[in-house]
Homo-oligomer: A and B are copies of this chain.
């Protein structure tokens, strides 16, 4: 910076102003300084800025144990977030933790070591200790996931699971399906119940019964296959399966295939999350708009971190409920067939 100042015959502060408050500098001077900056490739050192301003431009995000919180989705989210953050001059810092308490301890460490600007949390659930801890410490954060059942609210971004499953179910109904089953998770999962509700809503709106068409199982391929088999062997077998996840849907897909039936022609199957496995076997799936999620997260953080967002006034609280979209593949009717 001293070099730039000398070359442009101005003081250090003027160089700083050209970068951080260009309106304070006369156009002529500014251009001269900018030319030198461009010529030398000067970029301010984050460490020095951080020391002075208490801003690191770092955002910490957890990287979960592989296999937890559906690794592939989190991975895609991390990617989208990293890309989007980069565009706003932020960077993503990783950390690990096996449970919420360890995660809180990780927050504490990160905050005292690095001078973090914010956190992005994933996998929120009811009575989430993490959000209350962060709120108490007045640390800016956004969650990917609604504050399920929690009273205190905070900026969040989420994907409307109910809307996704409703769309999936309506897609099947439009193609003539009348006996549509739902393969869901056990009770107690906020996300799971939300997705189930979408299926119910669509069925009820079309006057289709849901009784006896709901199976609850762990997020496991084998259990999905088994549940699918059970329903297919029942007195009144469904012609379509809407599933709470791709894992479960792939189980159903496997069972259908193993019976010599063709998914999409004989029995329809729809999953959730649009995993690579779904794409590989041609499974129709509800895709989360992760780029939009990442975008909304950073917009919320920008608002939180920009001056004016003091702890006193919490202006427009950012909440974004985004709509997923259906990726139609061979395991469900193609849109053209919607002639019924």
Contacts and interface: CB of A to CB of B under 8 A. Distances in A.
Interface string A113-127: 111000000000000
A109 to B, nearest CB: 8
A82 interface: yes
Contacts of A254: 257, 281
A280 B222 contact: yes
Given A91-B93, A92-B94, A257-B257, A115 B45 contact: yes
Q: How many copies does the complex hold?
A: 2
A325 interface: no
Contacts of A276: 66-67, 71
B46 A48 contact: no
Interface in A39-84: 41, 43-48, 50-51, 56, 58, 63-67, 71-72, 74-76, 78-79, 82-83
A98 B114 CA distance: 29
Nearest to A67: B276
A25 to B, nearest CB: 23
Nearest to A85: B94
A112 interface: yes
A113 B78 contact: no
A300 B79 CA distance: 27
A113 B72 contact: no
Contacts of A221: 280-281
Interface in A272-328: 276-277, 280-281
A86 interface: yes
A277 B115 CA distance: 39
Interface in A85-120: 86, 91-96, 109, 112-115
A226 interface: no
A95 B82 contact: yes
A247 interface: yes
Contacts of A190: none
Interface residue tally on A, bucketed by range: 35 or more
Contacts of A64: 79
Contacts of A94: 78, 82, 91-94
Contacts of A63: 75, 78-79, 82
A250 interface: yes
A72 B82 CA distance: 17
A205 interface: no
Contacts of A115: 45-47
A112 B281 CA distance: 44
Contacts of A44: 113
B41 A47 contact: no
A74 B76 CA distance: 12
Contact of A75 (B72, B257, B258): B72
Interface in A12-29: none
A193 interface: no
Given A44-B113, A46-B115, A51-B51, 8 more contacts: A47-B114, A58-B93, A72-B72, A72-B75, A82-B96, A221-B281, A257-B257, A258-B258
Interface of A: 41, 43-48, 50-51, 56, 58, 63-67, 71-72, 74-76, 78-79, 82-83, 86, 91-96, 109, 112-115, 220-222, 247, 250, 254, 257-258, 276-277, 280-281
